[in-house]
Chain A
């Protein structure tokens, strides 16, 4: 393949095209296909195809970031540090989009944009933990120090995000589906109508995030090598 000196393998064009096709399908089928008729959420249930994939994408990107942080700590190559940092950047963008879309959705279904919902709070705290990662990195002028501390902190941030988003909200009464005795969408989409759009949407948005990260990594490499 087109591997370069540092071993970076560019995202292949096929994945980019697949991402575009899946997202075109999401935008079309997501608006046109039948959805369960539920009171309160009504048509806004379609936000599931756009709001939730942001979180799936964010978790995937943060996972890749933590994975590359481990790789950096193991062999100390600055290249893995670049990967780790750029994955975290795109992850934060996805998370911010998830928070904002969630607030719009909550405003119309729960009654207010910030409802003090455990999952909402947990997601906000997780994002703040990741924002601190960039502050930490920016505050260190020594590149190697910044990379090493950043990698260690990155692992802490990932370890903090998992309970904040996946475990704690399920132990409390969250308004989010699937938490605290809330049956969630699973009960209604058993007919697979929504899954047919939802899973492609998740994959499409994840690939889209990978693509953007790929571009960021390549730009970073250009600025470093020149």
Chain B
């Protein structure tokens, strides 16, 4: 019994175990998979802007060709 208690105590002393129990993170949100909704939204907006920048780049290239 005493050995078991020491064992449990040592586990609790382990900084990693202790941290994960006390510090609140968005674990529920992750387990529900809602984080993927966020990732999807951010990626759609970013790729939209990136595509827009590429189109702008092409337009400027065309203007440069016309000027030469």
Contacts and interface: CB of A to CB of B under 8 A. Distances in A.
Interface of A: 4, 16, 20, 23-24, 27-28, 31-32, 37-39, 42-43, 211-212, 215, 218-219, 221-222, 225-226
B60 A37 contact: no
Nearest to A214: B57
Contacts, number: 55
Nearest to A27: B42
B27 to A, nearest CB: 10
A41 B36 CA distance: 21
Contact of B43 (A24, A38, A225): A24
Given A215-B57, A226-B67, A38 B23 contact: yes
A181 B23 CA distance: 23
B53 A211 contact: yes
Contacts of A31: 35, 38-39, 42
Interface in B6-55: 19-20, 22-26, 35, 38-39, 42-43, 46-47, 50, 53-54
A37 B25 contact: yes
Contacts of A39: 22-23
A21 to B, nearest CB: 10
B33 to A, nearest CB: 11
Ranked 7 nearest A-B pairs via Cβ: A37-B23, A37-B19, A20-B50, A27-B42, A43-B26, A218-B60, A39-B23
Contact of B56 (A37, A38, A215, A222): A215
Contacts of B57: 16, 211, 215
A24 B56 contact: no
Contact of A28 (B19, B43, B54): B43
Contact of A27 (B19, B46, B64): B46
Given A28-B39, A42-B23, 16 more contacts: A16-B53, A20-B47, A20-B50, A24-B47, A27-B39, A27-B43, A28-B43, A31-B35, A32-B35, A39-B22, A42-B24, A42-B25, A211-B53, A212-B53, A219-B60, A221-B64
A222 B25 CA distance: 51
B5 interface: no
